[in-house]
A and B are shown apart, each in its own frame.
Chain A
Amino acid sequence: MSEAEIESSKTNPSTFLSDIIGSSVTVKLHNGVEYSGNLQSIDGYMNIVLDEGKEVVGNTISRTYGDVFIRGNNVLYISEA
């Protein structure tokens, strides 16, 4: 890959975040619990709001939330579902 190609295919964290707003995501927390839902909004602290959030512990859905705000310091990663 040339320098220019690398530059254009690069996705910085902020680009990634604005790309995935509105799509269905999985958020994993440091305590191992996962939340999946539609990403309503996110900020620079990685505070997140999901709608139709499902709480997944292990492999089972333990709870559902209409809207849920997740405090950013607990977030390990955010991935496209």
Chain B
Amino acid sequence: MSESTGQASEEAVPATVLPLEIIDKSIGNEITVLMINDKEFTGKLVGFDDYVNMVLENVTERDNEGTSTIVRKKMLLNGGHVAMIIPAN
């Protein structure tokens, strides 16, 4: 992608950060997942695949009113309707 040849020294070229790397770094940490229908899931990310299907632990589910929260011990969230993934820190 941004392979620059020639003069650029190593520190001058900021390494490209791939989107999935950000998610990979979040494994073991709390994340919030926003769905395209305004639903929200917050929990510890334990794994994901190329479709961004995710395995989450201790999950709270919030729907569009932001009120009802349901807690799940461990779940597989379908990546098909994910809009955004936010690492908690």
Contacts and interface: CB of A to CB of B under 8 A. Distances in A.
A9 B49 CA distance: 15
B76 interface: yes
Interface in A31-81: 46, 73, 75-80
A23 to B, nearest CB: 11
Contacts of B48: 12-13
Interface of B: 27-28, 35, 37, 39, 41, 46-49, 53-55, 59, 72-78, 80-81
Dominant secondary structure of chain B at its interface with chain A? strand
Interface in A1-20: 1, 6, 9-17
B83 to A, nearest CB: 13
Contacts of A6: 27-28
A76 B73 CA distance: 16
B82 to A, nearest CB: 11
A12 B49 CA distance: 6
21 contacts: A10-B47, A11-B47, A11-B55, A12-B48, A13-B48, A13-B49, A15-B55, A16-B46, A17-B76, A46-B78, A76-B77, A76-B78, A76-B81, A77-B72, A77-B78, A78-B75, A79-B59, A79-B72, A79-B75, A80-B72, A80-B73
